[in-house]
Amino acid sequence: MLRMMILLISTWSMLGCSSVFDKHVEYTIEQPDNYPILRAIGYAPIAPQPGESAQQKSLMAMKASKIEAYRELAEQVYGQQMQGQTTVANAIAGDDVLQARVQGVIRGARVKRSYVVGDSYATELELDMKLVHDLYITQSKPRKVKKVTYY
């Protein structure tokens, strides 16, 4: 009788620690209410660019303005990290240093326009956040529990 009682208690305790029911979980993807379109313009001077000809300098300015536009988009998406330092000696402000840093990945941006403005080159970029959301969904597959069915 004691053996039977110990066997029954041990079986019951093992069942308490394990899942008695199997379950099936259904997920759904949540969509945001709206998707903004971010715009950025990058500028770069033509004359100081490296190159032997005006065409080479123009191409370098075009590339630099595009990079500046991407930087501006990254600032809008991820923000900007600021770090500052001021030294004070004898109640007089000395060196004042301010550093800015932007880091991030921009996917899905497209060039709207590239053009010359005086002695500078300008590039306009556009980032449709709907496209960014779709790219994110295809890579990460975020989910929300839709329904749980126990068997």
CA–CA distance, 44 with 65 (Å, rounded to integer): 5
Confidence at 151, pLDDT banded by 50, 70, 90: confident
Q: pLDDT digits over 91-114, tens only?
A: 888 889 999 999 999 999 999 999
User: In this structure, is the dihedral angle defined by the CA atoms of residues 112, 116, 117 and 119, taken in order, positive or negative?
Assistant: positive
How confident is the model over 11-68, as pLDDT tens digits? 666 655 555 567 777 777 677 889 999 999 999 999 999 999 999 999 999 999 999 9
Angle of CA points 13, 15, 18, to nearest 5°:
115
Buried b (16+ CB within 10 A) or exposed e, 131-148: bbeeeeeeeeeeeeeeee
